[in-house]
Amino acid sequence: MMRNFVLNSTVQVTLVLLVSLGAQTVAHAQGRRGPGGPAPTAEAAAPVDFTGYWESVVQDEDWEYRMVTPRPGDYAGVPLKPAGMQIMNAWNPAKDTAAGEQCKSYGAPAIMRVPEHLHITWQDGQTLKMETDAGQQTRLLHFVPSVGAAQGPRTWQGYSVAQWQFQGRTGRFGTGAPTWGNLKVSTSDLKAGYLRKNGIPYSENAGLVEYFDLVQVPPESNGHWWMVVTSVVTDPVYLSSPFVTDDNFMKLSSAAGWQPSACSAMW
């Protein structure tokens, strides 16, 4: 009898613990949702805030290929296949302009490398909108992908699916509310374009994965917020290995410096 009692008590304790932890897990997995409430939007669940105005800061990082139009035939740093070299060597900006394709170097695999300003806002609770002044492009980052949307026409910015990557979760099993996070974006359905202004190509089969992070400079001392974008472009047609780059943006307090300009095939 005593053995049964002890057994029962142990089972009860275990059950209570499991129920309690389970409730904690569910509550945290729901983000800020209250019991029985609607699922939180991506905006409500955001562990960090990317909204606002941002400015490219090009501190040497491929300055010669970003701040000016690269030399014809220069593809340093790009693991270009021979098929890609043929395209690059045939680059003709006047022809691109005449064909109405002067935005070829402003597609998603290249746009974060263009010296520019960004304006990031929430289009709705599940879609982050990223506008550029250079080339006047708009990227939509979908946290809830529409069914069949990715089968639409190919565009310079393609179709981007976004997800938060939560960090620093609380709770003894790491299931609690996150204290930090970053954004991961996967883009497909691209229209073929250029990785660099001088005609280094990517094909419509290219894929793009990006990680957006926030860091404070100097850290933890009310310094400037910076956004660091790590990009991985893969292309089975023109690239022999992934093209991996990092780009930095500094947060601005206003729209000052925002200078919309049309796409240019030459500059």
Partner 1 sequence: MASKQSPFRAAHSAGRAIILRGMTFTIALSLCAAALPVRAQIVSATEVADLSGSWISPATNDVLERDEGPFTDDFVGMPLNAAGRALAASYSAGMLAEPQRVCQLYDQWHYSNSVFNIRIWPQTGGPTGAIQAWKLQPTEDNGGMTIWMDGRSPPSKYANHLRGAFTTGHWKGDMLIATTTGMKRAPARDNGAFHSDESTMTSTFIPHDDMLTIVYVLHDPVYMTQPYMYSRAYVKSVTRPIGTKYPPCTVNYEGTPQGDVPYFPPGKNPLMHQMMQYFHVPEYASAGGADTMYPAFRNRLKAQYLKTYSSFPKKCTQYCTNFRFAQPVGNLPQPVESPAAKSGRRKAK
**Using the rule CB under 8 A, which residue among 218, 222, 253, 254 binds partner 1?**
218
**Using the rule CB under 8 A, which residue among 92, 121, 138, 241 binds partner 1?**
241
Closer to partner 1 by Cβ: residue 73 or 125: 73
**Using the rule CB under 8 A, which residue among 7, 11, 16, 149 binds partner 1?**
16
Least distance in Å: CB of 151 to partner 1?
26
Contacts 24+ apart (CB under 8 A), 175-182: 175/24, 175/25, 175/28, 175/29, 176/24, 176/28, 177/28, 177/31, 178/47, 179/47, 180/47, 180/48, 181/46, 181/47, 181/48, 182/48, 182/211, 182/212, 182/213, 182/214
Least distance in Å: CB of 6 to partner 1?
6
**Using the rule CB under 8 A, which residue among 7, 11, 99, 171 binds partner 1?**
171
Kindly state whether residue 92 participates in binding partner 1, applying the rule CB under 8 A.
no
Least distance in Å: CB of 139 to partner 1?
18
Closer to partner 1 by Cβ: residue 5 or 147: 5
**β-sheet bridge partners, residue 139:** 130
Q: Which stretch binds partner 1 (CB under 8 A): 32-40, 119-127, 145-153, 223-231?
A: 223-231
10 Å Cβ neighbour count for 166? 19
Backbone angles phi, psi at 92, to 5 degrees: -145, 95
Least distance in Å: CB of 127 to partner 1?
22
**What value does the CA radius of gyration of the chain take, rounded to a whole number of Å?**
23
Kindly state whether residue 179 participates in binding partner 1, applying the rule CB under 8 A.
yes
Least distance in Å: CB of 86 to partner 1?
11
Q: Which of residues 29-88 bind partner 1 (CB under 8 A)?
A: 47, 55-64, 67-69, 71-81, 85
- Contact characters 122-161, partner 1, x per CB under 8 A: ------------x---------------------------
